[in-house]
Structure formats: C-alpha cells, structure tokens
Structure 1
Amino acid sequence: MSNENELSGGTRAQNLSLPIELSAEKIQDFQAAFSIMDAQSKGFVAADDINQVAQAADMTLVENEAQLLLGSADEDHSGGIDMREFISIMTTPINQQDLEEELRATFRVFDKDGNGTINANELKRFVRLYDTELTEDEADDMISQADPNKTGSINYDDFIQFLLHT
C-alpha cells in the first residue's frame, strides 16, 4: 500500500469515522479480514458473500443465517456491511456469556457429525483457505498446537485454546 492510512479502494482510515482510535496496522488487519469476504472488491459484504465464504470452507449455513449475521451490523440498512461497520463489529466488546455461546456455535459448525470433536485436517483446510499466505508448514504447526496429542481430532477445549491463542 502506498500509504499506511490508505485502505484498498482508496478509502482512508481517517475517513472511516470510527468511535475508537486504532493503529494503522490494526486497520490493515481488519481490511485483510474484510477483503476475504469482499472477494469482488465491492466495498461491502452482503449475505451472498458470507454464504460463498462458508461454502468454500465446506460449511453449511441454514436459510437466512448469513442475513441474520449481517442484521444488526448493517447500521445504515444498505443490505451489506461496509468497512466501517465491519470494524465496529470487530471492536465492540463482547460479554463473556455471549463469547462462550459464539465459540460453541463456531465449534458446532466444524463438528459436522456432532460427536464433540473436529477433524484436524478439516480445520487445517479452513485455516489455509482463510489465510492464503499461510505455508503448509505454518498450517501444520497451528494444527499441532490445536491437536497437542496428535489424535487427528480436536475436542472443544483444544479448539477454544486454538482460537484464543492463534
């Protein structure tokens, strides 16, 4: 990027009108995450984008689930979330009970057969899809941290440790 305060599409960090102060590096991290969902560089993420990311990750969302995810985040009711709304979501404090529910819901997405474990290879595939710059060795290292006993299956507690410490 030519200017560390400039985001893709020419949006400047100071033009985001954020309620909190963020470093240029943090804004770039959010931009990278946003760009994964905004694969067509439209400047916003709609329900279809979330469905495509989920499908690429071999996840199934129930009908209207993507729209529900966007619902409260779409402050201007445009039908999608823009970068400012995305950063607002990412910087809104979450209470502990909500976090626990979200983590359990995330685990259930990966626990396709409902047996209380996730296949380590499936998680690795998703991690590589999410972070396309991640090397095979880096992905293997991450998964070995999530699966310390090298069983090929990751239980809920190991999954939480993986999410909170990566």
Structure 2
Amino acid sequence: MEFGLTEEQVRVYTEAFNDMDKNHSGVLQPTELGVLMRSRGHTLSDEDMRDLAADRHGTVTLADFLQIMAKREQDVVLQQKLAQAFAVFDKDGSGFISVNAESDFRKQMTSLGSNPFTDEQFDNFLSEYRAEAASQHPAEQDGLVDYQEFIKLMLRKAP
C-alpha cells in the first residue's frame, strides 16, 4: 500500500490525475487540483489552496495528490469511527450529545485512556466548539453538541 492507499485507490487516483493533466507536465495547478478533488467527492478550502500554492511552488505532483488523498481517506475512516463512538452517547438518536457536568460523555473524556482530559482541558476544547457553532446551535444554553460538527472540529485539530 503506497501512501496508505490500496492498489485500487492508487490506480483510480493516478488515472484521475493523469486525465486532469492535459498537457502531460506531471503537475497540476491549484485550481486544477480543486476541480480534481471535487470530482473525487472532496473539497479544498481557500486556505487549503493557499497552503498548497505556498508549500509546493504553485503546483501539485502526482505524489502530492496521492498524499493528499491518503490523508482525506484516513480522515473519512476516522470520521466514521468517531461517529460510531459518539453514537453510543446519543441515546435518543437526535445527533446531539450532552456535555454537561453529569454527562457520560464528559465522564469518559475525563477519565479514560492513558492521557484523559482534565475538566479544564475538556471545557477549553468545548469552548472552541461553542465559538464555532454559536450561530448554528446554542450549545452553551442546552449543554448539547452536534457530534458531527464536533467531529469536524476534532479532525481539524488532529496533527
């Protein structure tokens, strides 16, 4: 497995890259990469595009693209695993979990694992979610978080 991708994924992504590389230069411009990513069901933010332009001298090679796609595939798998884990705390299937002081979720996050959150660390992390989600959901008032949005924040924070 190259780049953490299956042989089939490497083949599909290589073909897609080569199809987009109309002049056979072996590189794509960031705008071409954006089109290619959307065709594969992924999007690149403006920030991603700036980072790519800065990091790769304005072009993206096949190896760069495979590395990007490997990261995206890993994110999808991680997002699915996190959603399954969070679903355990979503007793009523609403898409929201409680994060108040008595919640099972808070208790698990501050006690399990080799390096659990302290209450303060957990509250700091939640404050980031609350700041981002304030316009979409009043997490501060009801003590609930939309765990799909929470997962997105966690993935952005991951190294």
Question: So what's the TM-score if we normalise by structure 1?
Answer: 0.35
Which structure has more relative contact order (CA 8 Å, sep 6+)? It is 2
Bigger Rg, structure 1 or 2 = 2
